[in-house]
Structure formats: structure tokens, C-alpha cells
Structure 1
Amino acid sequence: MTTHDVPETLRVEGFRVRRSFGLGNLSKGQTIAFAGVLAVEGLVASRQPLSLAFTIPLTLVVIGLAAARRHGMPALAYYWARVAWHKAARAEATTYRRVLLPHPYALDLPGVGASSTLIKAYDPTSGRTVGVVHNRATGYMTISTLLAPGGTLMAPTSAVSGQIRTWSSVLDTMSTEPQIKGASVTIQITPGAGEALADDVKARRHPAAPRLAKELINELVRTTPRATASVASWMSVIVDTSASLTPPKDLGEQVAESLRVVDGLDLSGTGTDIHRRATDVDIRRLVRSAYDPSVFNAKDADFADLSWAECGPQAADDGWEEYAHDGGVSVSWVLREMPRRPIPYSVLLPLLSPGRHQRRVTLAYRVLDPHEGEAVVEREISAAENRATTTAQFQGRAKWSQKADYARADKAARQVAGGAQVVDWTLMVTTTVRRTEDLAAARQEVERAAKATRGIRMRPAFGAHAAVFAAGLPLGYSPLVR
């Protein structure tokens, strides 16, 4: 339960992690691989029995690491990623210095944004310019829309229910539009200085106001100096124009087709107002101010002449536990597990509340088409049933957790059969500080906010902080889109 009462009709459920059928905690692929390894070892041992003294202990260690868990992931995957990161660090692949890069690499953003470029386009529908991020490797186009979300905590139940249903309709539209590869919604909360609130109140206070009113507002300013915050929100949609029945021939037609596809998503009634399509200057501001927080309040004119590469960092170091970049250090978290019980629609409120440090919360979506979604839930229900059956055969009965998981998979399959959509999605959180000394406090702030959601479990983005950092920006990168 959050800090306010939420009726049962405004609770959501149905979150499951994909799990294939395998022995113990092993996946289907791991089970087959290890079975093959054991078979090969058996054949080798038939000729050289002494080889088992070395191969069997090694195989058992690898199987144990694959079955064990570390931070919600297989321990084998965790340690393998750590070894890979150390190898990359020794090769200086985790360090970026733009001034040292030869042409043409100096014209690119670092990491996952290297293949992106920014296009300034004209939208005839709105009569304004639009910033379109083009991925030169995949050909995908990304268009971002600036949003102005409204509050729902004081809205009537019927209004909030309608907004949830409307958002469901938006996801349904994504599932039937083959050109939409994925989408993400980002809310960035930047705390304001205490002086900003005091100055604003001072300018608006009337000299003839009652004494009680003056004392009350002064007390509010004194006790909540950091309650002011700048909130920026946007939705980015990744479009694959080659999936059209008549693929566009040139870059101009691709941009026009992308604008047409994004215009087909009607966000009215979802609880947010559409401010406008993000211009090329808006994209530059969002990206540059994320890498260098000191320019957050700069004027638009300061971003208009920046090249795309200049929007990224001049220097950056992607560490195992943090990401250092121009004027700041960032730490990111990714979703580990959602609650298995129904949760209120406002469950993310603690993460979206202003804190002492800048925070960026991103929900990334990939809506499966109806046929793929049906195939996924059928595989999931078969895997859940097989796990329960196998455990019952070896231990006399299935685990209660397995029975509950099968029930959830069965319910999901029935919902999909009734027209519901299957969505691959993830949650990412990034916090940025300007001084390394503030990093521990920023970590603690986000971890407390995550615990306050009462059920959502996050884990640090070990060795991938730069990629998660970029996924929260309108760069056209999503970990769910291939």
C-alpha cells in the first residue's frame, strides 16, 4: 500500500519473467548444453578414465555457477560479465576522450549512441521543425514527443481507470503496427535550488496580505527549501520504415513515414498532455545537459549550433559501479523483479518524487504482435507446467511457488486469448551528481525510493552504466530492440 488508499479496481498485475523449462534453476539451453558436455565427457572417459578427475569437478563448478543467483541473475553470467568488463578496461575500451579520436570517429557519440545522427526535419502537420534521430546501423528512426503529465492522486477513480484503459489502447496500437519496434517514456526530475522557491514567493507576495497567510507561506518556504523541481518528460518511439508495405526510397521519405507512424499514436486521454514534438534543439538540450548538468539552465541559443558529437561527453569513464562524464557522475539501476501480487497504479510514485539529486526514470516497451504474444504465453505455460510436474515426480509434490507461477501463466494465456497484449518491458533509473562526494548519498536516496515502492526490486547496472544512461535519453537506443 502506498501513502494513499488505492481501490482494488486501480491495481494491476500479470508481471512475469520469461523462464524456459530446465533442470533446477537452469534454463532450457543451459540444460541441453550441460547434458551435451556430460555426454562428451562420458565418451572421452570410456577411453581415458583419468580425464574425469579434471573434467567432472570443472563441469560441476560451472553448473553450480549457472544455477546460483547473484543480484537476480545467474552467477555465471554475472562473473562472466565482470571478466569481460575487466578485459575491456585493460584495453581502455571503457574510456572515452573525444579530443583524442581520429576523424570520422570524433563526429560520433560514445558507446551505444555511436551509430546515431540527428536530423532536423519539418513537420507539415504542425508547421514546426522536428528532431529525428537516425540509427545508421539499423536504419531505425526515433521521434520524441515532449509531454506534460498531470497528477492523478486526487483524480476520481473513474478518470484514472479511463486513463489506464486509454494507455492500454496505445499499446494495442503498437502491437498491430509492424513499423513500431519499441517505445520508451522518460521522466526526469531535477531538484531546484532553495533560493528559487524563496525568490518566486517573494515576487508574488502581496504587501496587503493577511499576517497569518504571510507567516504560513514563510514557514513553508523555510521547511521545504528543496521541494521545487524541474520535471521534463518525453516519449520516444523507434520506427522501422523498412517494415512498410512500400518502403521509402530515400532519407526524406523515411523521415516523413516515421512522422506519419508516430502521429498514429493518440496519447489524448492517457493522463498526459502533448506539449509538442521535440525539435532538434530540444534533443540537443536533453542529451547535452544529461552529460553536463551545469548547462541544464542554458538558453536554447546555446544548443542550436552544437554538432551532434558535441552533445555527448568530451570525456567519460564507464566503470563497473558508476559512469563518470562531463561535470558529473551517474549511477544506474535496472529492473530485477516485479511484485507477484497486484500493485497500485501509483507504485512508482516514490521513484518519481523530487529528491536532492537529479533522477531519470525510464520505462521501455516492446509490444509483441498478437501471434508472437500468443506463442510466448503458450511456451511459458508449458514450461511452468513441466517444472511443476518434474518437481512432483522427484519430490512427491510440486512447490507452492511453482503452482502459483503456473496459475499466473495460465491466467496470462487466458487474457491473451481474450485479446490482451504481451509486452516486453523494463524499468531503468539513473541518478546524477556533480561531485563524487555526493555519490553515496545519491545511491542511498534511490535505493530508499525503490524500497518505498514495496515490491519492485532493482539492481545496479553493473558494467553497463553508460548503456543504461543512454537508454534514458532520446538517442534511439533501447535494450529491448534488436
Structure 2
Amino acid sequence: MTASTTLSDTYERRSYGLWQKPRSAGLFGLRWGETVLGFVVVITALLVSLIGGPMAGLVVAAVGLVVLAPLVWRRGGRSGYESGLMMFKWMRARGRGEHVYRGGRFSRIPGGQAKLPGLLAPSKLYEGIDAGGYTFGMIHLPRFAQYTVVLRAWPQGHEAVDQPVIDRWVGAWGTFLASLGQTSDIVAVVPVIDTVPETGNRLLTEVSTITQPGAPDLAKQVMFELATELPQERVQLLPRIAITFKATTAERRNDPAEEAVEIGRRLPGICAALADAGVRAQPMSAEEIIAFIRRSYDPAAQADLEVAAGEPEGHGLTWSDAGPLSQDEKWDHLIHDGGRSVTWEMETAPEGAVDERVLQRLLAPNPEVPRKRVALVLRPHSAADAAEIVDNDFKNALVAQQSERGVVSAAATLRVGATQQAREEQARGHGVTRFGALVTITEPARGDLPRIEAITRDLSTQSRLKIRRCYRYQSAAFAASLGCGVILPEHASIPKALAG
């Protein structure tokens, strides 16, 4: 007997990991800023005790501890100050009635339109043509001088693809993100995997288009039956990629047309880089952007929007019609136009080494939660910032390792090795990217929230992703997961010094 091996048997699959959250290490496990503030409190208390007596020094020390404690105490990755400010703003918003939105003809909004609520309220939508001749929509947030374009994506998938090809795609995706760091105006890249129930309207429109008027009646009947007898509980996958640019000149900040020219010049190159990573992409028009935002806020409008997509005149909606007619933000969920949505955010990245299929269960269509949206928020650092960040991370890891008493923990040793590897890879031209994830589930208004919670937790656990519910900011998190220009870390109203 003879034995033979194939390439798939001997090829070693790649794994990914060793991601680190930047942390400035100080004494006693505190951050560097907290350590400095602690020394300031101690020195001030000693000086006051020398001048005004021991009692005055104790009073200063007590006040300093009260000020320092909320910064040191953390829960869910947030400092006490951050949690307190979020609670205060939530209660103030509810007291003012800002958590409830009512649009439509009988609302207080001029014109009676269904404008977008919350962070998207001041946004505007423009349309341009890129160098390849494709029409693209451009969402403008004037306050932040940011412009967002959305690309319709067709990922290749992993079916019937050799592992070396997948590794090449992953490498090309990393090269794409690293190239974004070479520019100074790209704020974030947000790939969104959106799943919605299959209504059958798209298939019926396609069959009607390809059916010849002079075809035999039997052939027309067969084609019609194939288009209408769609299996139940089917879910369609609608991926897209949102890219947010920041205007770097006064002309582009004040004139959206100038920014549209710059974005239109660069879009074909971005689509070509995505194609190298196995993702075919094409800019979405303003009409298409309005359609998926309206469908997200008003699930019942999906069927009408799909039918209108096949008509020459389109759906006829404007940017002022893309929002919901009603919205009520609760503590832990969002009610909007006959739907109820819950959004979770990533708390920690997958621990240990993972392969490229780690998020497959979470991203795949699931009949139990047909309306599911997963957004990966990628914020690349510039090349100059990346070099400084990896160097500081390595120094902080060394300080944390050397400050431990006795036998050094394995976690501290691994962190030093990971930061050292990051320094070497950054020096070879690799980029440094901050990343996070948002998961939004939409159910009917009377949906079973405990069931949604259990299913989402199970899917995230299978993907080795630790998530937490977005308490007190469900509306903002819902808008951020749409992939339409809302970047929560960039648009936060809480100072970073208090957030830690």
C-alpha cells in the first residue's frame, strides 16, 4: 500500500491574536495618570499638614481620595466618572423628554417629515460621481467635518476556496487597512453584515426582467411559480462597507463639492484594494443609502422599498424621509416604527489565537433572528501615531512586568512579547488599527427580549467575543451600527481624561 498527502492535509492554517489594549502602566496596578494624580494628592496633603496642621492635611487627603476614587474604580471598562456622567445625561434627557421622537405630518418638525433622530439629525446627504463613472452618496456631518460614503459589498466567502487563497485575502485586507493609515483623513472603516428576511420581491423583479414578453405561456407560468413559491424563513445577506473621511482643508470643510471631488478620485482605488482582499465593492447611490436606513428604522417598509427598487422612478424618498415616524429610547432597548431593537458592543476581543472564521457563527444568517446587523468599527492610526503608540505600549509593558513582586505572571510576559512583536511589525510597514464591534437585533414591537438576549449571547460566545449591552445610549448605538457615519468614540461627549 502507498500513502499520499494533499496540500490541504499538510498546509498549516494561520492564527491571529496578541491584540493589546493601550494602557499606561503606573504603580500598584494603576494607570500612569492615576499614579501621578495620587502623588499630587499625597504631596499636597503633606504640605498642607506642615502649614496648617495634621487635621488640615487629613481633610485635603480625604478630598483627594474622593476625587481619585471614581477615576480608579472601573466597571465594564468605564471609570466612575464616565458612568456617572452617562447616568446624569440620561436622566437629564428623560427629564426634558429628549428620549422620545415623533415625526410625521402632525409633529413639531417643520414640514412634517421623518427626519433622522439623534446624532444623525444635523446630517446632510449629497451625491457625486467617482472617477469610474459610478454615482455615490455622501453623508455629511457638519459639526465634525466628516463625510461618509457607503459601498455595496459582495464578499467571496470561504466555500470551495483553498486555504492559501484565504490567507492571501486576509493579508490583502491587512495591507488595505495599513494603507489607510498612510493618509490623514480617513477616520474609520465600518464593514456591516446586515441580514433581513427574504420577501421574494427581489426574485420576482429579477424573473420579470429576464422573462421575454413573447415567451410561451407555459414557460411564463413556470418562471412565475418559481419566483413566488419561495421557501419560508429565508434570510438575505446584505453586506456593505462605510468609509468616513475627515475634511482636512478649509475649502473641503465649507464646500462639500470639494470633498466629493477628492472622494470620487480615490474611490476606484479603494474598490480595487478591496477586490484584492476578495471583496467586490461598488459605491451606493443616495437612493440606496436612504433605502437601507429607512428599512432599518421601519422594518415594514422593506417590501415596498424592494418593489420600488425595480421601477425607473425609484422609491421617491429624500434624506428627510429616511428616519422613523416615532422612536422611544428605553434604558436597554429602542422602540421604533413597529420594531424593537437591542444593541450590544464588544467589551473585550477574542482571547488567545483565533483563525479567520472566528466570527462566522455571529455573521451568518440566522432564521431565529432574521433582522441582525453586525458592524465592525475599524479606526486606523496614522503612521506617525502608530510608531509612538507601539513604542509606548512596549515601555508600559516592561514597567508593568518589572513592577510585579516575586514570580512574574504569564500575562505580563505575554504582553511584553506581544508589544515587542507589534513594534517589529510596525517597523516593517504594518499598520495599527483600533477595532470594536456592534451587534444589533431587531424584532417586532412585541418581541421576546429575553430570547433575543439568550440567542445573541450564545452567538457571541461561539465567536469568542465578549459583549455588553449598550445601556443608556441605545439610540446612538443603533445609528452607529448602521454604517452611516456615526462613530461612537469620535462623537462622544465625555472627556477622555475622565473616561480613562
TM-score higher than 0.5: yes
5 Å matches for 1:244-259? 250-259=255-264
Task: Say if 2:478 is the partner of 1:473.
Answer: no
1:248 Cα deviation from its structure 2 partner? 8.7
Partner of 2:349: 338
Alpha-carbon contact 1:183-1:366 (below 8 Å) kept: yes
Partner of 2:337: 326
Alpha-carbon contact 1:366-1:481 (below 8 Å) kept: no
Query: Can you list the C-alpha shifts for 1:35-86, whole angstroms capped at 9, x where unaligned?
Result: 3334444444552644566665665466555444423434553344234322
CA 1:50–1:317: 2 relative to 1, 3 Å: farther
Which residue of 372, 375, 378 corresponds with 1:362?
Answer: 375
5 Å matches for 1:346-357? 346-355=357-366, 356-357=368-369
| Structure 1 residue ranges without an equivalent (≥5) | 198-220
1:372 Cα deviation from its structure 2 partner? 1.1
Report SS of the residue matched to 1:304.
coil
Alpha-carbon contact 1:332-1:430 (below 8 Å) kept: yes
Which residue of 440, 455, 462 corresponds with 1:445?
Answer: 455
Alpha-carbon contact 2:373-2:440 (below 8 Å) kept: yes
Equivalent residue letter for 2:256: L
| Counterpart Cα distance in 2 of 1:6 and 1:472 | 40
TM-score normalized with structure 2 length: 0.80
Partner of 2:13: 9
Q: What is the root-mean-square deviation of aligned Cα atoms in Å?
A: 3.3
Report SS of the residue matched to 2:143.
coil
Query: Can you list the C-alpha shifts for 1:302-329, whole angstroms capped at 9, x where unaligned?
Result: 9733232321122222233112222211
Partner of 1:30: 34
1:284 Cα deviation from its structure 2 partner? 0.6
Which residue of 454, 461, 464 corresponds with 2:473?
Answer: 464
Query: Can you list the C-alpha shifts for 1:408-452, whole angstroms capped at 9, x where unaligned?
Result: 111111111222111111111111111244222112111110011
Task: Say if 2:310 is the partner of 1:306.
Answer: no
Between the aligned residues of both structures, percent identity stands at 22
Report SS of the residue matched to 1:242.
coil
Report SS of the residue matched to 2:276.
coil
Alpha-carbon contact 1:11-1:342 (below 8 Å) kept: yes
Alpha-carbon contact 1:97-1:315 (below 8 Å) kept: yes
Task: Say if 2:101 is the partner of 1:92.
Answer: no
| Counterpart Cα distance in 2 of 1:430 and 1:167 | 25
CA 1:380–1:261: 2 relative to 1, 3 Å: same
Equivalent residue letter for 2:291: R
Alpha-carbon contact 2:397-2:412 (below 8 Å) kept: yes
TM-score normalized with structure 1 length: 0.83
CA 1:325–1:443: 2 relative to 1, 3 Å: same
Bigger mean CA offset, 287-296 vs 27-36: 27-36
Alpha-carbon contact 2:114-2:324 (below 8 Å) kept: no
Alpha-carbon contact 2:131-2:265 (below 8 Å) kept: no
User: How many residue pairs end up in the alignment?
Assistant: 447
Partner of 1:216: none
Report SS of the residue matched to 1:254.
helix
Equivalent residue letter for 2:486: Y
| Structure 2 residue ranges without an equivalent (≥5) | 1-8, 204-228, 492-500
Alpha-carbon contact 2:340-2:447 (below 8 Å) kept: no
CA 1:465–1:52: 2 relative to 1, 3 Å: farther
1:259 Cα deviation from its structure 2 partner? 1.5
Which residue of 115, 132, 148 corresponds with 1:125?
Answer: 132
| Counterpart Cα distance in 1 of 2:441 and 2:389 | 34
